[in-house]
Structure 1
């Protein structure tokens, strides 16, 4: 082959290669620069303090940082140290490559590098082994591919997020956080130069190792001299460069608020990463952990070893503290379980919401008189914690003292919305079918998480509106997100106003001057078999929930809400800094509520009238609350000689006296409670039924019940009995019973009359011995 042919072949080949290269350059695909790998998540508290930084899926610390958030001094120092002509070449420095090739492979001298920042990005992006000739060629082509599709600024940003900074730390975002506990934008001049020289030899210049820091300091000082040569004014920074740097080692990374951090990480998707500023207040969190630990240490002799606490700002709905357990690392108490997320029986902590619903339905107001006495609700017979009954008790005291029978009775009276449906509408999840709980739901028959309980109590402070809890810091515009109304503003206020009368635990009465000034509406709860002790309170902008117990469900007689969880609740409230004194009535200024105060009879809860011996003011909702005049205290005209009641007008032989006319059911309760009442005397002989019936209260039939169908079996027809009972005025001794107008029998007013049931619809009449009557319909079905 002649030289002319050879030269033509070479020319054609060169043209073909050139065309191929041009075609490749034009058609090479655009690579993905960010999602090709995984990144760490760095969690911060609301003040920007690092809580935890996680490893990426390849066990590297790598936090993506946009170049606009990186210190300008660091960017400039890196370019000066790694690739001074970065903005002048097309990704590959041909002159430097030929020089490195000549020195390394032709002259055989020490190895000389020629990689530009773009080539380093190519190596890091595709994991290229660039020490070989084939690897170096691949690296060059990948570098050209990068410059084909991305700007120098975009490539530089990727470099700063992939470059090695010692150990398993990659990227300036992770390096600045780990070594200097600050974002890359806040690096000082010495810190910027320190980090800039690490990627060239990350193993030898690891700043967290004593030997590595010494080598790093030499390289950094050399860079500083070059910097001063180009920027003479930087000589003024000499004194800063001479100061030792405080470098944090990987082993000293924070692991703060572990339960909250795990909760946050679990709520993020697999692909979510980067910096996440949470709502947690790191200072309160740390204090809560110390107080909880100290409290349990003081109670360890009682078998109290574990507790959880949750602090929620109800104004922003932000979680500011979360103590999931007493000790995250204690396996004896299953410390890694997050008690704030666990479903537990809430005990009596749900009772305030039963009262709120009853207030909204006009069943009670705060001073309504309720009955705390033995009562069966179908097959359910609730008892109180102390196995005692208080008798007549006003609603406010029944709630504060957590009496069970009044709460169950109120739940049974709800007709607009069942308590079960209320909980569902409030966002409680995981409940079984409503029939599973029955009327035990108000007593803790269901299970809620601490988060759900905090949300419910926050709705009271937000005047009846339930809002979602947030744990990621939001912008101001997001904070005012609307919620869902579950109670009226008036009922919500009244419940808190009732609960503020709940006295603090006895052992915390002294030394809490701030708490003595603040209102703290709070409620306790104790679950069945003493498995859970709860305390929930509202004060200032906060809802605080406390739980004491065992995660494995073991009971302990010491796990009583008031004595076990209550003191911890108040201890935690005491360490929260509050600028102003807070009162429940401050909520009234937020809205123009339909509330008024009225004087009521202290003993009956009815409107005050002149015969009532003492009065008290009570809130009520005009048009809703069941306010009526009291008929308990009545004026009776007595014969001076016999002391019996007369039927005629007042004369010189008569005298007027005031007696208490309590209904018969209350009289029984007073008797059971050992309270003796002065009952009115009988009428003088000769008084007619017509004269007696003009005064007093007519009977109220309590059985048969309204809206209940009674069922009897066909094979037992004529044998099954339905009890007839009624409450009557205190002067009634006997009741006469009629069915469909036919007299069927009589019984003492304190006893039940049993009627032999038959199939059909019936009208039942009760007539007392003063001629006053009441009527109720009943249906009996036969199967």
Structure 2
């Protein structure tokens, strides 16, 4: 009777504890499962070759690997070795605990553990020290908490991501990649058995050490015996398991394409980690690296110490090779700087896109004759590289020869026509192309076409990729999902075609400069390419497009030190072509389609033109050639330079009627006077046509020929008076005129200013003292042909 109340009390306490335990278990909060740790990133090339495995923030190699990627053999081996009853208990194996307690503390046969996989995850998750009873109790409580909220597969995934596999390697994903150089899903059964036994004693069984590998092998053999016992050995036999496995150590991890990898790590989403397969072609990268280093070494005596290169597949817009410097680890050349992403002056490499816009604007076609003459554009007087002027030169030759004055003149012409129609200026095109850190347009003026701004190699090669993509500008990609701007049509397909055709006539620097239609590379593939040299010889560039690839190379110093040897054609050109020969051997290289087949699908035609003048061929022209042109866009007219002139044999003067009887038909070259002046300076005699008979009607005489072209004043300049004592501004009046012009007459707002002679004959220019105001300046020649411009003179006192 006396034990009744006590028994009742014990029962009440037991029930209370049971209810409390169940309540606590039900209401245990859900913890995060591994999200509190940082993870490594494994970057691979397009073929699956590891480029680099990064360290997590806590300096451990830890790759997030989903359970679906872990092979069944790895799961079975781990459960068999660590926790055979894994799927049948609630996180704590009571029978295993009792057995471990009995053998460790009662019989003292040997010290064994009884931690389930769930308990190990709890220890790893909360970094619990289990050397004490309190620590062990906390571990078990946490195991119950995990089992309450997560499935066994979720907990098993956490185990495979957090377990130690020797040294600072955590998780089977990192262990597989480091030790066996393969993603975990490619593990063989012997490799899975090897990794399964490491977490139980990662220090003793570290496979990277000889002693550790011996202990690991012994443990693996015990596991395989158990594996056979449970009839899981249907895939392998004892001979296969006993074969030696080659294990890689952490010190042997690759560090390939470092500039590209750093770029990938910068571009990837901050939340991205794990396995990243990129667009890089490592075998091709290595071959290009070898060529670049050999080239720099070969020309070391000329002051060459650094170079960069970037290869882009224009079909996919994927970067397949990125060489940021000649040597990543050379501090003397600041080798860790990525030259492909650094802002540099592009020299003349941007000129092609001025020409492309001019083709679309109807300002030129490839054979249009441009003037390479001394000329002032506002306050800017461009000079050609190496000095000198060539006079009349076709647009194609001006581009290939990289003449500065024609390029600046085209940029100025684009500015003029853009205000009247939808034509974009060169600056606007660069803005639309996403060129970053551009100053205001006024900051560059007309020097932008000559390299006055700065671009990165990546920005530059994206522009050249338009040549292969019908004028469509697209952002390059690195093979991983990142946000990119939408493609944008910056040139017409016709302009892109013509620009490519023009640049393909640039001679191959590795061969003689013999006259050929094209610079044929390996497999007879035409290469469209252009060079650039920045001011003070700081940067030498070469960019080329062949097949479905674009390649850019740069020679220079990251500290900006110049070198007279850094000339684009001589310094960067040979390196470009050496690399392109390797590129054309790539398995993904696709030869270019025949140009005639391309042109059939475009608004293009071939026409006969007069080579010296660039206009439609006429019988008076001494030499005919052919050119492409865009119907309805390209400027085209009958040649006005070479004309049949009727000469009266009695007087030697021009007849009033070209078809009059008793006259002699002779061909004269009617070059504008500024061209004639250049010919005179070069000692080239141009026979001038005789004057008209005084009896000729001036209206007839003015039918042929060109109206004067005002060279000064410049309509782009606003003339200012800064001195309070100054009443007028002296302005030089000059114009280029047709070959038969003798006099020029100048008018400002219909008021006569004075007369002058054309530029070729001018001894002393006419100077006009202009007062403040807005003027329409008009010039007429002695045959009645005229032109005008508007200028402003303003006082700023």
Give the shorter-chain TM-score range: over 0.9
Secondary structure of the corresponding residue to residue 23 of structure 2: helix
Matches within 5 A, 1:682-697: 682-684=691-693, 686-687=695-696, 689-697=698-706
1:661 deviates by 0.9
Tell me if 1:598 matches 2:607: yes
1:35 deviates by 1.0
Task: Output the CA distance in 2 between the equivalents of 1:18 and 1:693.
Answer: 116
- Matched with 2:240 is 240
Task: Output the CA distance in 2 between the equivalents of 1:260 and 1:232.
Answer: 44
Q: 1:616 to 1:716 in 2, by over 3 A?
A: farther
Report the TM-score, using the length of structure 1 for normalisation: 0.95
- Matched with 1:400 is 400
- Matched with 1:612 is 621
Matches within 5 A, 1:297-316: 297-316=297-316
In the alignment, structure 1 segments of 5+ residues that lack a partner are none
Q: 1:748 to 1:188 in 2, by over 3 A?
A: same
Contact 1:228–1:235 (Cα < 8 Å) also in 2: no
Q: Which moved more, 1:114-123 or 1:513-522?
A: 513-522
1:574 deviates by 1.0
**Pairing partner for 1:663 from 664, 672, 675:** 672
Secondary structure of the corresponding residue to residue 234 of structure 1: coil
Secondary structure of the corresponding residue to residue 461 of structure 1: coil
Tell me if 1:489 matches 2:493: yes
Task: Output the CA distance in 2 between the equivalents of 1:24 and 1:101.
Answer: 26
Task: Output the CA distance in 2 between the equivalents of 1:517 and 1:63.
Answer: 47
Contact 1:548–1:564 (Cα < 8 Å) also in 2: yes
Q: 1:116 to 1:545 in 2, by over 3 A?
A: same
**Pairing partner for 1:582 from 575, 578, 591:** 591
Task: Output the CA distance in 2 between the equivalents of 1:550 and 1:778.
Answer: 45
Contact 2:81–2:196 (Cα < 8 Å) also in 1: yes
Task: Output the CA distance in 2 between the equivalents of 1:509 and 1:634.
Answer: 34
Matches within 5 A, 1:395-434: 395-415=395-415, 416=418, 417-434=424-441
Matches within 5 A, 1:183-332: 183-231=183-231, 234=234, 237-332=237-332
Matches within 5 A, 1:457-536: 457-473=464-480, 483-506=487-510, 514-515=521-522, 517-536=524-543
Task: Output the CA distance in 2 between the equivalents of 1:177 and 1:49.
Answer: 11
1:684 deviates by 4.6
- Matched with 2:785 is 772
- Matched with 1:450 is 457
- Matched with 2:644 is 635
Deviations 1:700-727 (A, max 9, x none): 3343444765444584555422222222
Secondary structure of the corresponding residue to residue 309 of structure 1: strand
Contact 1:534–1:565 (Cα < 8 Å) also in 2: yes
Matches within 5 A, 1:175-186: 175-186=175-186
1:578 deviates by 4.5
Task: Output the CA distance in 2 between the equivalents of 1:776 and 1:89.
Answer: 94
Deviations 1:612-663 (A, max 9, x none): 1211111111111111111111111223355433335667753211111111
Task: Output the CA distance in 1 between the equivalents of 2:458 and 2:337.
Answer: 14
Matches within 5 A, 1:341-380: 341-380=341-380
Contact 1:701–1:726 (Cα < 8 Å) also in 2: yes
Task: Output the CA distance in 2 between the equivalents of 1:455 and 1:530.
Answer: 24
Q: 1:92 to 1:567 in 2, by over 3 A?
A: same
Task: Output the CA distance in 1 between the equivalents of 2:109 and 2:599.
Answer: 81
Q: 1:301 to 1:27 in 2, by over 3 A?
A: same
Contact 2:365–2:395 (Cα < 8 Å) also in 1: yes
1:101 deviates by 1.3
Q: 1:152 to 1:613 in 2, by over 3 A?
A: same
1:176 deviates by 0.6
Secondary structure of the corresponding residue to residue 237 of structure 2: helix
Q: 1:358 to 1:691 in 2, by over 3 A?
A: closer
1:467 deviates by 1.4
Task: Output the CA distance in 1 between the equivalents of 2:444 and 2:520.
Answer: 43
Deviations 1:667-716 (A, max 9, x none): 12323344322221234565454553344333233434447654445845
Q: 1:358 to 1:130 in 2, by over 3 A?
A: same
State the aligned residue count. Answer: 779
Deviations 1:237-294 (A, max 9, x none): 2232232111101110000011111111122344421111111111111111111111
Deviations 1:493-528 (A, max 9, x none): 211111111111145889x98536111101111111
Deviations 1:412-446 (A, max 9, x none): 11132332222111100111222221111111111
Task: Output the CA distance in 2 between the equivalents of 1:516 and 1:48.
Answer: 29
Contact 1:392–1:669 (Cα < 8 Å) also in 2: no
1:81 deviates by 1.0
Tell me if 1:569 matches 2:573: no
Task: Output the CA distance in 2 between the equivalents of 1:146 and 1:651.
Answer: 110
Task: Output the CA distance in 1 between the equivalents of 2:42 and 2:735.
Answer: 68
- Matched with 1:112 is 112
Q: 1:71 to 1:669 in 2, by over 3 A?
A: same
- Matched with 2:443 is 436
1:91 deviates by 1.3
In the alignment, structure 2 segments of 5+ residues that lack a partner are 419-423
Contact 2:346–2:539 (Cα < 8 Å) also in 1: yes
- Matched with 1:391 is 391
Secondary structure of the corresponding residue to residue 460 of structure 1: coil
Task: Output the CA distance in 1 between the equivalents of 2:443 and 2:776.
Answer: 34
Q: 1:588 to 1:673 in 2, by over 3 A?
A: farther
1:389 deviates by 1.1
Contact 1:227–1:234 (Cα < 8 Å) also in 2: no
Deviations 1:61-115 (A, max 9, x none): 1111111111111111111111111111121110110111122223334211111
Report the TM-score, using the length of structure 2 for normalisation: 0.93
Q: 1:184 to 1:467 in 2, by over 3 A?
A: same
Task: Output the CA distance in 2 between the equivalents of 1:144 and 1:696.
Answer: 99
1:743 deviates by 3.4
Task: Output the CA distance in 2 between the equivalents of 1:485 and 1:255.
Answer: 39
Q: 1:440 to 1:15 in 2, by over 3 A?
A: same
- Matched with 1:754 is 767
Task: Output the CA distance in 1 between the equivalents of 2:678 and 2:285.
Answer: 49
Q: 1:238 to 1:591 in 2, by over 3 A?
A: farther
Task: Output the CA distance in 1 between the equivalents of 2:396 and 2:657.
Answer: 41
Secondary structure of the corresponding residue to residue 275 of structure 2: strand
1:385 deviates by 1.2
Q: 1:161 to 1:727 in 2, by over 3 A?
A: same
Q: 1:474 to 1:47 in 2, by over 3 A?
A: farther
